[in-house]
Amino acid sequence: YNSDTFESMPNPDGRYTFGASCVTQCPYNYLATEVGSCTLVCPQNSQEVTVNNVQKCEKCSKPCPEGEQGPPGVWGVFGDHRGPGEQ
């Protein structure tokens, strides 16, 4: 994290931000992003991939396959992770 620009930056030491914590790997069901954070949903124009048993978000080199790109907003987080009977 760059406190001067208030932006996440790639971390060469391979650690990820998870809330206010710095972790060596993202928790179960979270995806590692290219900028070194953990997220539930990949950003738009990115897709979920698994590399060496690590779930991560990877930018699509061309348009993402239909249904695999990240949502345009945060609604997917709520829609994908609601419990039974929740609206």
Amino acid identity at 38: C
- Concatenating the DSSP letter of every residue in 31-56 gives EE-TTSBEESSPPTTEEEEEETTEEE
Neighbours of 39 (CB within 10 A): 19
Neighbours of 86 (CB within 10 A): 7
Q: What is the pLDDT of residues 45-82, one digit of tens each?
A: 899 999 888 899 999 988 887 655 555 444 333 333 33
What are the sequence ranges of the domains in the chain? 1-60
Predicted TM-score of the model (pTM) = 0.58
User: Residue 30's pLDDT is what?
Assistant: 95
**Bridge partners, 63 (sequence order):** none
**Bridge partners, 65 (sequence order):** none
Topology, domain 1-60 = 2.10.220
